[in-house]
Amino acid sequence: MRIAMPVEFTSPSPANEVAENFARAQTFVICETESEKCEIVKNSAQNTTSGAGVKAAQIIIDQDADAVIARRIGENAFDIFKEAHLPVYKAEYVTVEENLAAFSRETLPLYVSPSPKGYRKRRGRPV
């Protein structure tokens, strides 16, 4: 399976932290569960003024991902994934590696709706 996660790094390391926001992440890591190899895909939607969720979701679909793991998923990206029958799981751990392990154990919760609106980070803390 090909699992996609948003990250803020440009190297495909399993030690990378999962980014806070799916659509605004710098890059995506796509990990192949069978071979345990990971690759980085640039998120060209990161600095888009509007429609970043739709564009970011399309990047993942174009990479033939089988599932997405994210801390937060906006309404537009969620709807695109739902339409594409691509499951989105909630990242419950800090690193890509930890979340992949939890995915393999089938312990990550599946998003059934987008993340709540109004979440913004200010000085490293949710407001």
Segment 70-79 mean pLDDT: 94
Contact criterion met (CB below 8 Å) for 71 and 18: yes
pTM of the model: 0.88
Per the prediction, the chain carries an average pLDDT of 89
Q: How confident is the model at residue 8 (pLDDT cuts 50, 70, 90)?
A: confident
pLDDT given at position 123: 40
102: which DSSP letter?
A: H
Instruction: For residues 100-110, give the mean pLDDT.
Output: 96
pLDDT reported for residue 127: 37
**Residue 1: band (very low, low, confident or very high) from pLDDT cuts 50, 70, 90:** very high
Determine the 3-state secondary structure of 82 from DSSP. Answer: helix
In CATH, what is the architecture of 2-119? 2-Layer Sandwich (3.30)
How confident is the model at residue 36, as a pLDDT? 81
Name 101's bridge partners: none
pLDDT score recorded for residue 118: 57
Q: 125 φ, ψ to 5°?
A: -125, 145
- Indicate the pairing of strand 27-32 with strand 121-122: unpaired
